[in-house]
Structure 1
Amino acid sequence: MLLILFTIISAVENTEIKEALEKNDQHLAVAKIQEYLDKGQNVPLNIAVTGETGVGKSTFVNAIRGIDNKDEKAAPTGCVETTMKVTPYPHPNYPNYLKMVEFKKFDFFIIISADRFRENDVKLAKEIQKMEKKFYFVRSKIDDNIRNEERGQREFNEERTLTQIRDNCIQGLQDLRLQSPQVFLVSSVDLTLYDFPLLVETLKEELPELKKEAFLLAMPNISVDMIKEKKKAFKAKVKYFAILSAGVGAVPVPGVSAAVDTTLLVSVVTKYVLGFGLDIPSLKRMANYSGVPYEELKKVIMSTLIAVKVTPELLLRLLVQFSSLTALLAAEEGTRFIPIIGIPVSMGLSFAFTYSSLNMILDTLADDAEKVFTRVCRCQQTPVVSLC
């Protein structure tokens, strides 16, 4: 057993888990892994979106939650002020990730304007600075400005217009004695346009590590690179789930390890599906938001795990198609009762089965997420965004 545990250690960076494995304390290692995984699952991310009447706060809130303004869970929009007080708008897939709470509990602030930023915006920014919190200026409704400029100019140049709008906002903030302001130009109608990908990248880089992952997984897929980053975040934890599986592999009871492995896989794969926005509600929200019919989005999907409820039976039907995984599962049960070496070998096989299964499923789901994103971009005639 000790040899198997040391083999697994090489894949682990978490100090407490590694120490438990080195001491051959299987129960402590499993407990520490579960604690680590649970900690990552329960990280709230509180975002404040503020600005004057009519600047598009609600539309922006809906957009970053990946839902249409007409959705029943949408923040109300209108030509008059519809959000007069602090109101919580939980993310539909991650109710603890994106919500609005008491002022001091915000992780960062997004200050929105549809034209020039005002003195009140700057006063708020300075108060946020006193709390040592981050704030970001967002200039909304850029798509409207671009359309208006294009109609009124004989020789229209989009990049020049964007630069003029950005410079004008920055100069206005500097005139109000705010040093080194950064302004992001966004369209809440299409988040792949203008500065929204840069805003997301900036926010992600400036958040603490655990908050960074919560933010990343809660964001809609606005680029192929974002999908790849989500995949990378999921992949980093595969080894921990595999070690949990190996721990159960030490139980000398027929069928227990396989049952726990499939239950574990269901839980993890369900998180993958939600993170990539490939569950039924997310795909339907994407269809409403993008204008691409739901059935059209489903046509580009290859995995049988998407747009259905993930169950142990469904997973096993998928995995038995791969002879190598089936052989691992069978060998694990067959070696468990071999004297002396049975348990360590069984643990290693359990680790290998879970590790290989999760990586294979993750690759497939990430590919499908890219296909869905590309299909939406093609319909909207939007370039497939890359942040590289």
Structure 2
Amino acid sequence: MESQDPAVVEAVQASGESTLEKATAKAKETFDQLRNVSLNIAVTGKTGSGKSSFINALRGLNDEDDGAASTGVTETTMEPTMYEHPSNVRLWDLPGTGMPNFKANKFLKKVKFETYDLFIIISSERFKENDVFLAKEIQKKQKRFYFGRTKIDNDIRSVAKTRHFDEQQVLCTIREDCHRNVKELGNPKVFLISSYDLGKYDFHDLVDTLESDLSEYKRFALVQSLPVCSLAMLEKKKEVMEKFIWLAALGSSLGAVIPFP
């Protein structure tokens, strides 16, 4: 090996290559791929289900902040609207699916289905026929979809003062109800989410599931873009940033690698 510097030796070994030159080239290639990867996430669901609020939460914004997606009790998204996010992540707010004459195949054509890596189907109550219909069409196209049951904080508040209130039992009841309405799709996961407190309920389970389903580079983009809503999320972001910095240092071919804690 060209250098006996312990840090360089360790870095080359970690890369799986035999020389510093090969390790540097590999690190640079990986760094460029991570920096340039794109991830397109489509958020859809019934009008008023909280699609825009969920997108704002993913962007670390409140609904009233400048640049936030428009929210309201009526349909505010008439055309697919894209919101740029760090790490080349694009969040797409799609039109609502609650119209009486909704047809999933026409809907997917209108919103340019091929644009998206995955779909998150949002509902603030039980999932309806249109949601299941849309999920089936997405399955046919061999794309991934995930169900997000939003406004869980509202459900909890509505029963919190009852005599025998049990939060875990309420959450379990909501999950069971959601699963009954999508059982014809097999056994898809339903994630319970509060857009006003991502650190609670199932948001971390959703992130873990997306990570396991995405490729390495798209997974990296996802984690980099997410807001810090818990210590666990902070640890995820710390891990990917350390890797990014390590690749940048090795790929710069300065002949030395800076160790990061």
The TM-score normalised by the length of structure 2 is 0.84
Instruction: Name the SS of the counterpart of 1:184 in structure 2.
Output: strand
Give the Å deviation of 1:9.
Answer: 4.9
Aligned to 1:57, which of 40, 51, 56?
51
Correspondence for 2:238: 231
Indicate the percent of aligned positions where both proteins have the same amino acid.
43
2:28 pairs with 1:34:
yes
Counterpart Cα distance in 1 of 2:248 and 2:188: 43
2:134 pairs with 1:124:
yes
Cα displacement string for residues 284-319 of structure 1 (whole angstroms, at most 9, x for unaligned residues): xxxxxxxxxxxxxxxxxxxxxxxxxxxxxxxxxxxx
Counterpart Cα distance in 2 of 1:162 and 1:109: 23
Correspondence for 1:77: 71
Change in Cα spacing, 1:114 to 1:7, as seen in structure 2 (3 Å) is closer
Instruction: Kindly name which structure, 1 or 2, has the bigger radius of gyration based on alpha carbons.
Output: 1
Counterpart Cα distance in 1 of 2:118 and 2:15: 28
Cα displacement string for residues 93-147 of structure 1 (whole angstroms, at most 9, x for unaligned residues): 34x2133383212111100111111111111111111122211111111111111
Counterpart Cα distance in 2 of 1:90 and 1:199: 21
2:111 pairs with 1:99:
no
Matching residue's letter, 2:235: K
Q: Is the 8 A contact 2:3 2:9 kept in 1?
A: no
Give the Å deviation of 1:42.
Answer: 1.1
Q: Is the 8 A contact 2:15 2:23 kept in 1?
A: no
Counterpart Cα distance in 1 of 2:128 and 2:117: 23
Correspondence for 2:102: none
Matching residue's letter, 1:229: K
**Which structure shows the bigger proportion of residues in strand conformation?**
2
Unmatched runs of 5 consecutive residues or more in structure 2:
93-110
Matching residue's letter, 2:83: Y
Counterpart Cα distance in 2 of 1:88 and 1:237: 26
> Does 1 or 2 have the higher relative contact order (CA < 8 Å, sep 6+)?
2
Cα displacement string for residues 216-275 of structure 1 (whole angstroms, at most 9, x for unaligned residues): 110111221221122222223444333345x34xxxxxxxxxxxxxxxxxxxxxxxxxxx
Give the Å deviation of 1:7.
Answer: 6.9
Instruction: Name the SS of the counterpart of 2:81 in structure 1.
Output: coil
Counterpart Cα distance in 2 of 1:130 and 1:230: 34
Q: What is the number of residues matched between the two proteins? A: 242
2:35 pairs with 1:47:
no
Correspondence for 1:211: 218
Counterpart Cα distance in 2 of 1:131 and 1:6: 50
Change in Cα spacing, 1:244 to 1:170, as seen in structure 2 (3 Å) is closer
Counterpart Cα distance in 1 of 2:192 and 2:142: 24
Correspondence for 1:192: 199
Change in Cα spacing, 1:29 to 1:186, as seen in structure 2 (3 Å) is closer
2:187 pairs with 1:180:
yes
**Which structure shows the bigger proportion of residues in helix conformation?**
1
User: What pairs up with 1:359-370 in 2 under 5 angstroms?
Assistant: 359=260
Matching residue's letter, 2:170: T
2:87 pairs with 1:87:
no
Counterpart Cα distance in 2 of 1:69 and 1:112: 17
Cα displacement string for residues 324-379 of structure 1 (whole angstroms, at most 9, x for unaligned residues): xxxxxxxxxxxxxxxxxxxxxxx4xxx15xx14xx2xxx6xxxxxxxxxxxxxxxx
2:167 pairs with 1:158:
yes
Matching residue's letter, 2:125: D
Q: Is the 8 A contact 2:119 2:146 kept in 1?
A: yes
Give the Å deviation of 1:172.
Answer: 1.7
Instruction: Name the SS of the counterpart of 1:3 in structure 2.
Output: coil
Counterpart Cα distance in 1 of 2:185 and 2:33: 38
Give the Å deviation of 1:205.
Answer: 1.7
Matching residue's letter, 1:136: Y
Counterpart Cα distance in 2 of 1:211 and 1:98: 12
Counterpart Cα distance in 1 of 2:135 and 2:9: 46
Counterpart Cα distance in 2 of 1:227 and 1:35: 26
Change in Cα spacing, 1:103 to 1:162, as seen in structure 2 (3 Å) is same
Counterpart Cα distance in 2 of 1:165 and 1:86: 29
Correspondence for 1:274: none
Counterpart Cα distance in 1 of 2:232 and 2:112: 33
Aligned to 1:141, which of 135, 145, 151?
151
Counterpart Cα distance in 2 of 1:196 and 1:29: 37
Instruction: Name the SS of the counterpart of 1:129 in structure 2.
Output: helix
